[in-house]
Structures are given as structure tokens and as C-alpha cells.
Structure 1
């Protein structure tokens, strides 16, 4: 097994005190050690003499941060036609069309449900886009 010049194998989880970050050792780049955040991301250069193996607590914290970064809620795209539009809170017209849609769903009238979605999208484009 090949040992890297910094004394670490690729994949070793290290703590970089200069950036207060935990990353996986990738390789050397000139005088620097290349580290990549757990879970992927942009590599950064670290001083190989300053990095140290990450503690269990630091590894856990960095892993949780990586998972949270992948699961953060992204607001739905209003032009995404695969999802029904959400009514704008406090808008009576939006609420009326959403109620029409729910009534159509209740009786399995997909045509009326689609019509309500189209009307709601048109209303949102005209009234709620900045």
C-alpha cells in the first residue's frame, strides 16, 4: 500500500485548523494537502504540517452537515408542471381556486382539477410574480 507524502492515505478524514473544517485527504498539490468535504464538494488546500486526524465528534458533525446539505428543502419551482401549484397565503383568489381543485379531487374529476391548476398558475404569474 502506497503512503502519501503527508503520511496520510487518500480517504483519511482530517481536521484543518486554519479553516476549522473536516475533509477527506485526496492528494498533494505542490506543498499543500488537498482536502475535500465529507459528502463531496470543492477541494481546498491545507498546510500538511497543520492538519491532524479528525476526532470522532468532528467526523460526526461533518457527516451530519453533509447530510443536511443534501436534504435542505428547496422551494418548488412555480413553473414545474409535475406538481400542483400552492396557493399564496392570504390571497383570496388563490384560496378560491385551491378549494375548486380540492372539490374536483374529491369527486375524481381530473379535468376540473387540471383546470383549477391552470387557473391558479395563471393567477400567480399575473398577480404574485415580482
Structure 2
């Protein structure tokens, strides 16, 4: 069997990538990486298309949520701090600009909200 072949372990209800043999056991690891486990060959079967797809989506989701978003990421709009009047005001300016399709004013409101957050909500 080739390393990387996807197998379904009926004992653990998991899809794993075949790694190698270890004595009488087969070594598998989760799709996308992780801690390997031993499986008895009698509990293994080839993974179905649905199981392979599900395992791939799970691995992609795990990669997405592994690192929290950077609050200084300029590709994302800043969030107002709940209960802060100035944050609420700047968020309202941004929403008004978006509703008017005024991207320049929306960008200005984002910049002001970021500046306010850095100064008042470290």
C-alpha cells in the first residue's frame, strides 16, 4: 500500500492516511496532519468518496481556525467595542457610507475606528 492512501478505520470511525506498518498494526494519521494512531488491519477498509471529502473539508476547516484573525489585518473591517459611544458612532458612519456605496467614506470610517480602538481600547 502506498503512503498517503486514505483508509477508514471502523474501530475509531476516522479516515486516516496510511503511513507504514508497525509490527502487526497499520500506522495512520489524520488527513491534513496530526498525531498518528495504530489500527488493526482487520478494522480497515478503503475510504469512500464521501468519507474522503468529509475528511478533507474537516482538515481545511481546522487549518482555517487554527490561528485567530489578526485584529490589525487591514483586509478586514474593524469591529466596534460594545458599549462604547464613539465606536458606535464610527460604525454608524461606516454603515451609512456603505449604504450610499461611498467606499471612500467607508474606508475613512474604518481608519478612524481603528485609530480610536488603538487609543482607547488597547
What interval of TM-score do these two structures reach, taking the shorter chain for normalisation?
A: 0.5 to 0.7
Unaligned runs of 5+ in 1: 1-8
Say which of 57, 60, 83 aligns to 1:67. Answer: 57
Task: Pick the aligned partner of 2:109 from 110, 116, 119.
Answer: 116
Task: Please give the alpha-carbon distance, in whole angstroms, between the structure 1 residues aligned to 2:26 and 2:40.
Answer: 5
Higher share of residues assigned helix: 2
The number of equivalent residue pairs is: 115
- Structure 2: how far apart are the matches of 1:63 and 1:25? 16
Q: In terms of Rg, which structure is larger?
A: 1
Structure 2 length normalisation: TM-score? 0.64
The question of 1:82 aligning with 2:72 is answered no
Distance in 1 of aligned mates of 2:79 and 2:6: 46
Tell me by how many angstroms 1:108 deviates: 2.3
| 1:114 aligned counterpart, secondary structure | helix
Q: Give distance in 2, aligned partners of 1:78 and 1:96.
A: 20
Tell me the alpha carbon deviations over residues 54-109 of structure 1, each in whole angstroms, 9 at most, x when there is no partner. 686xx856753541452367554211012221223333221100112233442626
2:44 equivalent to 1:52: yes
Normalising by structure 1, we get a TM-score of 0.61
